[in-house]
Amino acid sequence: MTTIPNRHKTGPGTTPPWWFAAPAMLLFAFVVLIPSARGVYYAFTDWDGLSPDFSWVGLGNFTDMVDDPDARQAIWHTLVIAVAITVIQNGFGLLLALGVNTMIKSRNVLRVFLFAPAVVTPIVTAYLWRNLLGPDGAVNSLLGAVGLGGWRQDWLGDPQLALWSIVGVIVWQFGGYSMVIFLAGLQSVPKEIYEAAAIDGTGPVRRFWSVIRPLLAPAFTINLMLSIIGGIKLFDQVYALTGGGPGHATDTISTLIYKDAFTLGEFGYSIALAMVLTIIVAVASTSQYFVLARNERAAA
């Protein structure tokens, strides 16, 4: 998008007053900024969420975390989920987008239907899948019906599998979301470029890699950001599918924050976990932003 140069930098009375921003900034401060700042402070205390008496424990919560296998596991699960979703969901979404962005007759209908799961409430799809993935659920029934009875599993009850089942549910729900963003990117590629490449005799793989992929850079940036940050913060689906179980096999940082605060009353420790989550999100989003922005410039 080209920016139109401002001819009158300081036109007569055209700079809007700062107080236009006041209502938004006050709401934002009340809901996000002030509580977050207090959160950072509480992370270094043993606050229980109720009593006004609490004491400063320095890095105590963080050293406890190092010794807490549940916390270490939850951090690990969170990273695994975020990376797995980012790779699988975007791979799937990209294939869907390339398939839909062709001459096939059903392309408009497919686009609408494949995107539909993304607007449904995640907790609803998670409860649906909790049943489908059960020992007597539809997934196992279907495997039996097509002669793959040997593949039947307790998808959510097996600690080795449960995390991957959650990833599968999320890919099912949001693959269409990635697709829509890739499609918008593909449709911004001028037709002449495809045709020129086709006339030059480049094969489909080569055409994708050296012609289309660079032009999709902005779509990649948005998709990767959305899926990695969504994956890191994941709560609803885990809560509804497994509740973090079996045992702690699928606990993420967010489910552990919830449990530690509301079932154990360890608010200080819980907020320290939220700090770790914040740091991971900040590192992931800024580093991704810089890497992808560099690639976008290189592709431009």
Partner 1 sequence: MNRYRWRTLGLEMVMIAVAVVVAFPVYVLVNLAIRPAADTSSPIRPTTRPTLDSFTQAWQEGGLGGALVNSVLVTALSVLVVLAVSSLAAYPIARATAKWSRGMFLLIMLGLILPFQLAALPLYQTMRDLGLLGSVWALVLFYSGLQVPFTTFLYIGFMRALPRDFEDAAAIDGCRPLEVFRYVVFPMLKPITVTALVLNAISVWNDFFTPLLYLSGSDQQTVPVALAGFVGQFVSDWNLIFAALVISIVPILAVYFALQRSIINGFAGGLKG
Phi-psi region of 244 (alpha: psi -120 to 50; beta: other; left: phi over 0): left
Find the shortest distance in angstroms from Cβ 219 to partner 1: 6
- Residues from 202 through 231 that contact partner 1 (CB under 8 A): 218-219, 222
Query: Residue 254 CB: number of other CB atoms within 10 A?
Result: 21
- Residues from 140 through 159 that contact partner 1 (CB under 8 A): 141-142, 145
**Of the candidates 79, 80, 123, 161, which one interacts with partner 1 according to CB under 8 A?**
123
Can you tell me the distance from the alpha carbon of 295 to that of 299, in angstroms, rounded to the nearest whole number? 6
Structure-block tokens of residue 179: 């697709």
**Of the candidates 83, 161, 184, 215, which one interacts with partner 1 according to CB under 8 A?**
184
Structure-block tokens of residue 273: 């976990």
Query: Residue 79 CB: number of other CB atoms within 10 A?
Result: 16
- Residues from 54 through 113 that contact partner 1 (CB under 8 A): 96, 99-100, 102-106, 110-113
Quick one: which segment of 58-66, 76-84, 152-160, 177-185 binds partner 1 (CB under 8 A)?
177-185
Q: Sign of torsion, CA 91 230 283 242?
A: negative
Can you tell me the distance from the alpha carbon of 98 to that of 92, in angstroms, rounded to the nearest whole number? 10
Instruction: Tell me if 77 sits within 8 A of 162, measured CB to CB.
Output: no
Find the shortest distance in angstroms from Cβ 116 to partner 1: 6
Tell me the backbone φ, ψ of residue 138, rounded to 5 degrees.
Answer: -65, -30
Find the shortest distance in angstroms from Cβ 181 to partner 1: 6
The verdict on 192 binding partner 1 (CB under 8 A) reads no
Find the shortest distance in angstroms from Cβ 216 to partner 1: 10
Find the shortest distance in angstroms from Cβ 131 to partner 1: 5
- Residues from 256 through 285 that contact partner 1 (CB under 8 A): 257-258, 261-262, 267, 270-271, 274-275, 277-278, 281-282, 285
Instruction: Tell me if 43 sits within 8 A of 276, measured CB to CB.
Output: no
Query: Residue 232 CB: number of other CB atoms within 10 A?
Result: 23
Find the shortest distance in angstroms from Cβ 197 to partner 1: 10
Can you tell me the distance from the alpha carbon of 79 to that of 65, in angstroms, rounded to the nearest whole number? 16
The nearer residue to partner 1, 76 or 92, going by C-beta atoms, is 92
Quick one: which segment of 33-41, 55-63, 67-75, 156-164 binds partner 1 (CB under 8 A)?
33-41
- Residues from 3 through 32 that contact partner 1 (CB under 8 A): 3-4, 6-9, 11-18, 20-25, 27-32
